[in-house]
Amino acid sequence: MTELANSGIGAPLPREGARRLAEGRGRYVDDITLPGLLHIAFVRAPFAHGRLLGIETDDALEVPGVVAVIDGRRLAEICAPFDTNPPGVPGHASAPQPPLVVDESCFQGEAVAAVVAESRAAAEDGAELVFLDWDELPAVCSIEDAQAEDAAPVHTRFSDNLSLRHRFGAEDVSEAFHGAAHVVEADFSFGRQTGVTLEPRGIVAHWDPRTEELEVWQSHQVPWQMREVYARQLGLSPQSVRVTAPDVGGAFGLKLHAYADELAAVAVSRLLGRPVKYIVDRLESFTADAHAREARASCRMAVDAEGHILGIDAVVDAGFGAYAMHPRGSFGEAMQAAQMIGAPYRVGAFRAEVRGWRQNKAPSGAYRGVGQPIACAITEEMIDLASRAADIDPAEMRRINYRRTLDEGTRATQAGLVVEELSLDACLDKLLEAMDYTALRSEQAALRAKGIYRGIGLASFVELTGVGAGLYGPLGLTVAANEACRLTLQPDGSLTCATSVTDQGQGTLSAIAQLIAGEFGIAPEGVRMVAGDTGRTPYGGGAWASRGMALGGEAAKRACARLRDGLLELAAGILQCEPEALRFEQGEIIGPKGASGLDLAELAALCHYRPYDSPTGQVPPMTVEESFVPAALPYIASNGVHAVHLEVDPELGTVDLLGYWVVDDCGTVVNPLLVDEQLRGGIVQGIGAALYEECLYSEDGQFTNGTLADYVVPMAGEMPDIFVEHVSTPTRATGLGARGVGEAGTVGGLGAVRTALGDALVPTGARVSQQPFTPGRVLAAIMAAEDAE
């Protein structure tokens, strides 16, 4: 019985299928091979901006094993370029992006020619002998350069580099700033990052002329989206395309996009009628994967003498790169970075202007948190600056300004956000207690007297999870926002759940199995999960915007209810009682007189093999399908508070993380073991952003640190232990009550390190505006402050 009690919602069960991975039995895309498989190596643009004059392929074609060298003109005959200009985003402008450069290349690393060979090694040998003839064109790389009056265009089809302009909130907020007790102001610079999935992107595509079907295996988050994309670009019926995501070695939003090189691989297979494989190598992944986060911002905040926020006025300039990522565009990060500023607080007057700029750099796209880490970092530092101006403790400052919509009911903020059921007060209480905030503050004061600079940083966040159809639908984008579950009772009494949700290691599938098992009182092993395959799963979103449990879990719960209701009705007929008197326990039906002798296996056998034994002659459907998308709300907001304790060495500029705490509210927690690791993993990516990670380009657009030795990501030695605690406010939007959690760590991580660093540097008078906060930048800020004295 204990085992049963532990199998449903809330049990920290190990992940189903995890052992396979621990024993090296994962099946990632590069582990898949097919008879007659060809391999691709791409020749990529060496310039940030150039006009392609010619391609010499003769030498490459002589390399043994090389089958073909295919250029952009050849592919253009059978494959349309990405056109990423959602009709619903006014003023949005992005150049069409062909699978391979046709005449103008706009970033270093853009794929130009595909060398196709019997082995990857032969393809690479061939690629070395393809010579490209170019005219180099002027490149525009930094946001400032892109903004300049006389800036050269990133793409010659445009006369300037402005790709997006939008305003959230009021046109004029100056009234709120007049007569405010305190007005604080700061500039911010956010470094360009990339997701660095340990398994690089990869694809196997097979257009089979015999069946006229395209089969694709791809390391990806959203197979259904990719089915639509490949069908559209190649002019195929979506029904003739099947996309499967096998085991995926990390995704983080990076594998949410459609990439030109992957489209080229699919098109090459269509052209040659042979299966082809393309695995991105690490050097390519740095220059050709989606980047993220590059932004500059300035923000002003007005507060009254008691610390109440009176107004926020912000401008965010985002670096989009050369093209909008297909199909969702690059504007999401910029929009959320502006719109989410101040989200956890009652902010009075609100204005946030956002502009997106094209640059001759890799396209920017979704990366864990999408803009929200930027908004959180800006907001939390502004709160700290205001708390210092008003001489109020930063924790208290937050508390007096928190939105308390649990009491106030659902309504939109001035920024247009619909946030409901927040629990920031409760999260903060738990957090301050866990970290012993008061003691840390006294210790900080004592150490400051000795010249030891420790900082305590807080970051509250509101995060939009389980985003529904309201985001992409009105923009005219064909992106599924629902999640679906097709639940089947197999003849042997076991259950199969085919879900549209995909899993890149989060453990969502395992948690859904746990949920379903709980509904029937069976062990999770009795539920077989099927996912990541458009040939076997119902239509739906996949993995984006923290939706796995919030939406996919809800769909599964609803499917369970329907399947169970049908089975209980059948059982009630057999047992001559009311269905309401029956329930499942250990897979067996328990009636008014206890165990009925009817279990899932018996009912399944009856339905499949002996339907005539049903008292009514009818049997319930053995497969039910439910789809869920939030309808009453555009998304399901979650919230939480992060805290960081760190020490800065003022001589070296280094930052040592001493402690990290987070209290998160993701509503119903199905499996805390999985949820806590989502938070920790997300936080470490936030720390990476804060302290290490940055894509560095030279002035003329050369990516200069594109190796894992040069682009620094967090390793075990530098990371602190992370304390995780929960407040649980189940959302009223679903029966399950789960909110998203996959991005919550990253959303708050950057802000918490930023505020802690700012706090540590208070005695020096220094402020570091540019992230990541490298020792060089910290030292420069300290020295600048000394000079200013």
CA triple 504-510-513, angle to 5 deg: 135
Binding residue for another protein, selected from 24, 35, 594, 617, defined by CB under 8 A: 24
- Which one of residues 100, 106, 216, 248 is an interface residue with another protein (CB under 8 A)? 248
Of 281 and 393, which CB lies nearer to another protein in the complex structure? Answer: 281
**3-state SS, residue 758:** helix
Nearest C-alpha neighbor of 389 from the set 310, 303, 478 = 303
Residue in the structure block whose two tokens are 């909110």:
739
Distance CA 729, CA 404 (A): 13
Computed over its alpha carbons, how large is the radius of gyration of the chain?
28
Any contact of residue 22 with another protein (CB under 8 A)?
Answer: yes
What is the C-alpha to C-alpha distance for residues 782 and 779, in angstroms, rounded to an integer?
5
Question: 637 with 464: CB under 8 angstroms?
Answer: yes
Which of 7, 8, 47, 300 is close enough to bind another protein by CB under 8 A? 47
60 binds another protein (CB under 8 A): yes
Q: Does 30 bind another protein (CB under 8 A)?
A: yes
Closer to another protein by CB, 287 or 488: give it: 287
Determine the size of the site formed for another protein (CB under 8 A): 82
Q: Which of residues 700-729 bind another protein (CB under 8 A)?
A: 700, 702-710, 713-717, 719, 721-722
Please, which of residues 475-514 interact with another protein by CB under 8 A? 504-507
Q: In the beta sheet, which residues pair with residue 662?
A: 642, 724
- Name, in order, each residue with C-beta under 8 angstroms of 105's C-beta and a sequence gap of 6 or more: 45, 47, 49, 50, 51, 52, 112
> What are the residues facing 595 on neighbouring strands?
590
Residue among 482 and 678 whose Cβ is closer to another protein = 678
Is 406 among the residues that bind another protein (CB under 8 A)?
A: no
On whether the CB atoms of residues 420 and 633 are closer than 8 A, the answer is: yes
**At CB < 8 A and 24+ separation, what contacts does 591-596 make?**
596/571
The single-letter code of the amino acid at 24 is: G
- Per CB under 8 A, contacts with another protein among 739-758 are 745
Nearer to another protein, 26 or 238 (CB): 26
Confirm or reject binding of residue 698 to another protein (CB under 8 A).
Answer: yes
User: In this chain, which of 4, 10, 21, 523 binds another protein, going by CB under 8 A?
Assistant: 21
Question: CA-CA distance, 343 to 461, in Å (whole number)?
Answer: 7
Residues 147-206 that bind another protein (CB under 8 A): 196-200
CB-nearer residue toward another protein: 255 or 486: 255
- The dihedral through the CA atoms of 226, 228, 234, 240 has a sign that is positive
Are the C-beta atoms of 252 and 367 separated by less than 8 Å?
yes
Of positions 178, 282, 411, 536, contacts another protein by CB under 8 A: 282
The correct pick among 41, 303, 324, 738 for binding another protein (CB under 8 A) is: 41
For residue 109, the minimal CB distance to another protein (Å) is 8
The length of the chain in residues reads 789
Q: Cα(507)–Cα(515) distance, rounded to whole angstroms?
A: 12
Torsion of CA 300, 305, 309, 310, to 10 degrees: -80
CB of 316 to another protein, least distance (A): 27
Q: Binding residue for another protein (CB under 8 A) from 58, 212, 281, 656?
A: 281
Angle ∠(83,201,377) on CA atoms, nearest 5: 80
Residue (142 or 147) nearer to another protein, CB: 142
Q: Name the minimum Å distance from CB 679 to another protein.
A: 8
Closest to another protein by CB, 130 or 757: 130
Nearer to another protein by Cβ, of 211 and 698: the residue is 698
Applying CB under 8 A, does 409 fall inside the site for another protein? no
18-23's contacts with Cβ under 8 Å and 24+ in sequence apart are: 18/510, 21/247
x/- string (CB under 8 A) for another protein, residues 672-691? -xx--x--xxxxxx------
C-alpha of 590 from chain center: 43
Q: Which is nearer to another protein, 281 or 565 (CB)?
A: 281
Q: Between residue 116 and residue 145, which ones bind another protein under the rule CB under 8 A?
A: 121, 124, 127-134
* 329 forms part of the interface with another protein (CB under 8 A): no
CB of 659 to another protein, least distance (A): 13
Q: Which is nearer to another protein, 24 or 451 (CB)?
A: 24
Which of 86, 99, 249, 548 binds another protein (CB under 8 A)? It is: 249
3-state SS, residue 182 = strand
